[in-house]
Amino acid sequence: MQRARVLIRNKPGVFDPQGKVVHSGLRRLGHESVQDVRVGKVIDLRFASGSPDELRARIERMCSEFLVNPVIEDYTIQFLDEE
Amino acid sequence: MQRARVLIRNKPGVFDPQGKVVHSGLRRLGHESVQDVRVGKVIDLRFASGSPDELRARIERMCSEFLVNPVIEDYTIQFLDEE
Amino acid sequence: MNNLDKRRFAASHGVSDEEYERVLEVLGREPSMTEIGVVSAMWSEHCSYKSSRVHLKKFPTTGPQVVQGPGENAGAVDIGGGLAAVFKMESHNHPSYIEPYQGAATGVGGILRDVFTMGARPIASLNSLRFGAIDHARTPYLFHGVVGGIAGYGNCVGVPTVGGEIYFDASYNGNILVNVFTVGVCKKDEIFLGVARGVGNPVFYVGAGTGRDGIHGATMASAQFSDQTEEKRPTVQVGDPFREKLLLEACLELMKTDVIVGIQDMGAAGLTSSSVEMADRGKLGIRIDADKIPVREENMSAYEMLLSESQERMLIVVERGKEDAIARIFDKWELEWAQIGEVIAEQRFEVYEKGELACDLPVSLLTSAAPQYDRPRKRPAYLDALKPAVIDAPDDLGQAFVELMASPNICSRASVYKQFDHMVGIGTVVRPGMGDAAVVRIPGTEQALAITVDCNSRFCYLDPREGAKLAVAECARNISCVGATPLGITDCLNFGDPTHPEVMWQFSEAVEGMSEACIAFDTPVVSGNVSLYNASFDKDIYPTPTVAMVGNFSRLLEGPGRAQGYCDASFKGEGDRVVLFGRTDTNDIGGSEYLWTRAAQLGQRPPRLDLELEKAVQRLVRDSIAQGLLLSAHDCADGGLGVTLAECCIGAEGHALGLNIEMDIDTIARADLFLFCESPSRIVVSVREADLSALVSQAEAAGVPSTVIGTVTALPRLVWPGVLDLPTGDLQHAHKHGLSRLDA
Amino acid sequence: MKVAVVVFPGSNCERDCEHVLENVIGASVVRAWHRDHELPKVDCVVLPGGFSYGDYLRAGAVSKISPIMKAVSEFAFSGGPVIGICNGFQVLLECGLLPGAMLRNRSLRFVCKDTFVRCATERTPFTSGLSLGEVLKLPIAHAEGNYYVDAEELRALQDNDQIVFQYTSGDGEANDGANPNGSIFNIAGVCNRAGNVLGMMPHPERAAEDVLGNSGGAALFASIIHTL
Ligand SMILES: Nc1ncnc2c1ncn2[C@@H]1O[C@H](COP(=O)(O)OP(=O)(O)O)[C@@H](O)[C@H]1O
Ligand SMILES: [Mg+2]
């Protein structure tokens, strides 16, 4: 079994209203030391099999076809150890 | 500068409506090899300073007070290399 | 940068060579880069209306009911009780094609601000959407994005989306239309204007911080889509409906104080157009210190700040000495604010950046001296190639009927409007799907408004003048069908590339047709919007002059169980009699949905409209509703009489009834054409049996042809002996699932 | 009767609730602002619907850290009647005043429509004027109304008579077809053990006047007056 993770965030420069609200919430709770907050999505995928290289190509296709909105979002792919 | 990441997902056993919809979307696009999809949130935090240990304690407080709903969600904390 | 580079820089911003010469001439020097940015934005088609202005002058814009005509952020009409309805429609076509969710969402945000900037609390929104063919590869993505964006924004702000229209046609494959309308209400003598007055008065910036999003949005909306659009693409504007809601509440709270001199939202061309327009209206100038502008990104230049189209921002001129109110109210609502400048006597737009004058332009250069074009017009050749409709009667009329009900342009929109909060505000009396127009009670009163939006762009393609007239007529008919009186309109004129003479011909024809109809219905144009360059790869969209109309009821009486004095569309019960007002001409098949879905033809001409008959039919229906005579009223529009009857039987809540059609088939040559032609000026009503003869004689007295169609039955079947016998359920099923292929 | 309507940044049904309370029920209404540390002296507290803090992070999550929620909790612990409608329900869940949590609707879409709900207990101050099993037509409008508790908690809700409303068909059957969002056991509203705190997704204030064609929801507000 293989597990992969796609992290999706708004591109730099694209406004993240959610991050802003979370940031001010943290401040209100006294967590002044937080300087910046960005909120994004994480998608965990499980595959029966496949080498990382092969899976990466497949996941990249999924991202460009469906998972990610390239106009406003960036993504990174990670592979996870089996747990 | 320190960067930390909180990954939040629905607990095992708690229905994940988004994961389900993404999964069937991927299948419809022919990505049959995907066996399971879970969708969660990623919150990236930036701090001016702080050791990982100290920050971890602080972030754990943020999670239990605010960032995470323990009835349905689990979380993990990661530290990122400075970029 | 040398002068040649500057010229190129200007050209890359859409400023033509002649236009650049004009800048040099007026200015008497070379402009700075910042100034070029400002000029290009203000002279863009979107901001300057340079190709359309000469035509828009033809619109009727006055009348006793007009409180505020075109030229302000929104128009306003008197609705009685000391109140005004403030409304406008806006297009967000280009941004929505690039990023449908955010494009549509920020469109809603923009139109809401246009209305509340006048001091009116928004009470309802509508939208008018055009997508490419339903089976076009990109349509599902664009459709779900746009619908999601409207829902995401409008629901959160808490303004109900109570209606709209959606059409699918290949003409929009490369250029969708997203037009959004909002109406608000305020006291008619408490309207706020976007004007800068009083030299020395401070200018405040309030709302969200400025980022780099949407820089050049206005210029982008002023050019066709092409392969290069990708590179010019600005950072997409992301809407924050939460902040919009705070801004709405904060502005309305500030308006209860006496500190505001003028207020305007920052829409297209952001800070630039809001300051310049306010200065222009006040015949004064504005000086801005760019370093004071609240920003949310680092190292922004004055150029970027001036052209940014970040959302949820407003500019307010405050009376000197009363600045404290801004801090008190905007701090309370957790919004950013800053005094960024002041009103100056010289009619100039001055912007300082790090102590230096980065922009110093005469206001008139940006407004009255902006170019205006009477672009060449030419009757398009395609008109002469149109052929009359040829369509055989179907073998199975019932089957054809069911198929028509499932057509994407006719089927139920419930899957869409269920995603819109259409009830927040507890004012929605006639909900989407229930009637021809939405009816919204005005909070705190017994008054109500009726609102509707319409345009059949196939008709406009066949004949822009007649098509535009038909759009106004259908709006007025929709308003009349719920029992309200039409008061005024706003419009969104969506057309192709204005450098195509054929497009300008369509434009000019449509404006004249609209004007004629607006005069006939006494519905002046009080606001509107022009969206040109709706073309991709040189193919222009169908001319789409979308009309939104507002009507009023003086009073909604609460009767036993429900309000009276208005009507919805559905049949009410067994034994009620069904009457058609108006005339059916089976030659009115051109542009119809039936002709298109069955024969893939457009035909030669749109249905013929007789404005006098139309007015008489509408007056009759309004009067009979006021008398409490009618149980339902529904006009014949897309899909003709057949679809109207089916919709009346289906009803909004699925209490399907049936209908026995009792007309003599021998007098009708072609049942299919009779049922599905789209002659205008027709309304189907139902009455109690006891009221039938009174109604028929009223019609006679009013000079309106009336036909008794038949009788409502509890048995859910549509029966026309010898012609048709269909379970209502079959029609209902087809109607309900017509859009489901978008979900596959 | 005096009622406090709590307003958070982003609430958008506070006016609707005030209108019904004042003009339909005849109560007097005071607003409480999220930053207030104290509630005015009132007989009942309403947390209205809307999108407090834009529903960012999770619906109700940011509101729970507002100062006013401490005062609301104290009011609730001392037995005062509290009703959270839609977003107000979500806030009550986030604060822990009610058990469970909200997931996104199973359709992932916002849904606005009439639903039928069956009153499953009359013991709350808001349902005392209804009869057990009575079916009301009430509209919903939410994207996160898919109520979730684990199996053990569900049993506790049942054992302690805490399920107040269930989505049903028009004739009162709680089947899957009547469930608009996927909520567990068709739950539309729950109360705390004591019964004085009610959270519900449907909007009774949107169905409280004849002019809107549906006045069944007024009974919930009227119940409070009779209880007091
Ligand atoms: N984009 C939309 N948003 C909200 N409601 C819509 C939208 N499109 C259509 N509707 C509603 O769906 C119903 C049917 O629309 P339509 O078929 O255009 O009506 P009609 O033929 O009576 O003009 C109307 O109540 C209309 O307001
Ligand atoms: Mg229509």
| Ligand number nearest to the C-alpha of C644 | 1
Question: Which residues does residue B9 pair with via DSSP β-bridges, in sequence order?
Answer: B74
d(CA C221, nearest CA chain A) in Å: 17
For an interface test with D, the pick among B9, B15, B18 (most D C-beta atoms closer than 10 Å) comes out as B15
Contact D172, D137 (CB under 8 A): no
d(CA D132, nearest CA chain C) in Å: 24
| Ligand number nearest to the C-alpha of C633 | 1
As a whole number of angstroms, the distance between CA C139 and CA C134 comes to 6
Contacts of A28 in chain D (CB under 8 A): 65
Contact C313, C369 (CB under 8 A): no
Residue C609 Cα to ligand 2 middle (Å) = 16
- Output C663-666 pairs: Cβ under 8 A, ≥24 positions apart: C663/C707, C663/C708, C663/C709, C663/C710, C663/C720, C665/C720, C665/C721, C665/C722, C665/C723
| Ligand number nearest to the C-alpha of C546 | 2
Contact D80, D124 (CB under 8 A): no
Contacts of B51 in chain A (CB under 8 A): none
User: Is domain D2-227 annotated with CATH 3.40.640.10?
Assistant: no
What pLDDT is stored for residue A83 in this prediction? Answer: 46
* Residue pointed to by tokens 């009703």: D83
Q: For D42, which DSSP code?
A: -
Per domain, the residue ranges of chain B are 2-80
- Active site members of D: 86, 203, 205
**Which segments within C443-510 are labelled E, that is strand?**
448-454, 485-494
What pLDDT is stored for residue C416 in this prediction? Answer: 98
As a whole number of angstroms, the distance between CA C719 and CA C741 comes to 30
* Interface chains of chain B (3 or more CB pairs under 8 Å): A, D
What pLDDT is stored for residue C233 in this prediction? Answer: 52
Q: Which CATH number fits domain B2-80: 3.30.1280.10, 3.20.20.70, 3.40.50.720, 3.30.1330.10?
A: 3.30.1280.10
Q: Please identify among residues 556-575 of chain C the ones whose CB lies closer than 8 Å to any CB of chain D.
A: 556, 558-563
B26:A66 CB<8 A: yes
Residue nearest to atom 22 of ligand 1 (CA): C436
* Interface chains of chain D (3 or more CB pairs under 8 Å): A, B, C
Contact C579, C593 (CB under 8 A): no
As a whole number of angstroms, the distance between CA B23 and CA B19 comes to 6
pLDDT at D222 over 70: yes
- CA-nearest of D115, D48, D45, D106 to D77 is D45
Q: For C120, which DSSP code?
A: P
- Active site members of C: 46, 92
- Check if D65 contacts A (Cβ < 8 Å): yes
Q: For A67, which DSSP code?
A: I
Mutate to test the pocket of ligand 1, among C111, C165, C178 (most ligand atoms within 8 A of CB): C165
Beta-sheet strand order (sheet of C448-454)? C428-430, C438-441, C448-454, C544-553, C485-494, C525-531
Residue C214 Cα to ligand 2 middle (Å) = 33
Which of B26, B36, B47 shows the shortest C-beta gap to A35?
A: B47
Which of A17, A25, A39 shows the shortest C-beta gap to D65?
A: A25
Mutate to test the pocket of ligand 1, among C178, C413, C472, C570 (most ligand atoms within 8 A of CB): C413
What pLDDT is stored for residue C7 in this prediction? Answer: 87
Residue nearest to atom 5 of ligand 1 (CA): C163
Residue C64 Cα to ligand 1 middle (Å) = 31
Which of D65, D99, D108 shows the shortest C-beta gap to B66?
A: D65
As a whole number of angstroms, the distance between CA B2 and CA C260 comes to 45
D56:A28 CB<8 A: no
What pLDDT is stored for residue C219 in this prediction? Answer: 59
pLDDT at B46 over 60: yes
Residue D53 contacts by C-beta under 8 Å, 6 or more apart in sequence? A21, A25, C242, D8, D9, D10, D61, D62, D63
Give me the count of residues in chain C.
Answer: 744
pLDDT at B83 over 50: no
Surface-to-core class of residue C137, CB atoms within 10 Å of its CB (0-12 exposed, 13-18 middle, 19+ buried): exposed
As a whole number of angstroms, the distance between CA C501 and CA C380 comes to 8
Q: Which stretches of C43-138 are DSSP H helices? A: 45-48, 53-56, 93-98, 100-116
pLDDT band at D197 (very low <50, low <70, confident <90, very high): very high
Q: E strand or H helix at C385, and its extent?
A: helix C382-385
Q: Which stretches of B1-83 are DSSP H helices? A: 17-28, 52-62
Backbone angles phi, psi at D95, to 5 degrees: -75, -10
Contacts of A34 in chain B (CB under 8 A): 45-47
A33:B47 CB<8 A: yes
What pLDDT is stored for residue C222 in this prediction? Answer: 58
Q: Report chain C (744 residues): mean pLDDT per 10 consecutive residues.
A: 82 89 91 92 92 96 97 95 97 94 96 97 98 96 97 97 98 98 97 95 96 72 53 73 97 96 91 95 96 92 91 96 96 96 96 94 92 96 96 96 98 97 96 96 93 98 98 98 97 97 98 98 97 94 98 76 79 96 97 97 97 98 93 97 97 82 92 97 97 97 97 96 96 96 86
* Residue pointed to by tokens 């002023």: C222
d(CA A36, nearest CA chain B) in Å: 5
What pLDDT is stored for residue C652 in this prediction? Answer: 62
Q: How far apart are the first and last CA of chain C?
A: 54
Q: Which atom of ligand 1 is nearest to the CA of C147?
A: 1
Pair of tokens at residue D56: 């960012």
As a whole number of angstroms, the distance between CA C155 and CA C425 comes to 11
Which of A15, A17, A72 shows the shortest C-beta gap to C99?
A: A72
C163 lines ligand 1 (CB under 6 A): yes
B15:D65 CB<8 A: no
Q: Which atom of ligand 1 is nearest to the CA of C422?
A: 4
A vs B, Cβ pairs < 8 A, gives: 97
Contact D118, D83 (CB under 8 A): no
Backbone angles phi, psi at C257, to 5 degrees: -90, -175
> What number of other Cβ atoms are within 10 A of residue C258's Cβ?
8
d(CA A75, nearest CA chain C) in Å: 17
Per domain, the residue ranges of chain D are 2-227
Q: Count Cα neighbours of C353 within 13 Å in the Cβ-side half-sphere.
A: 15
Which of D10, D20, D113 shows the shortest C-beta gap to C418?
A: D113
Contact D187, D147 (CB under 8 A): yes
* Spans of chain A below 50 pLDDT: 83
Residue C603 contacts by C-beta under 8 Å, 6 or more apart in sequence? C386, C387, C388, C389, C462, C589, C590, C591, C592, C595
As a whole number of angstroms, the distance between CA B34 and CA C551 comes to 55
Type of residue numbered C470: L
Q: For D158, which DSSP code?
A: H
d(CA C213, nearest CA chain D) in Å: 21
* Interface chains of chain A (3 or more CB pairs under 8 Å): B, C, D
What pLDDT is stored for residue C213 in this prediction? Answer: 83
Contact C67, C84 (CB under 8 A): yes
Pair of tokens at residue C537: 């790869």
C-alpha distances in angstroms, B25 versus B16, B28, C435? 14, 5, 36
What average pLDDT does this structure show over D78-88?
98
What pLDDT is stored for residue C245 in this prediction? Answer: 97
Q: Pick the residue from chain D with its C-alpha nearest to A24.
A: D62
As a whole number of angstroms, the distance between CA C723 and CA C422 comes to 39
C639 lines ligand 1 (CB under 6 A): no
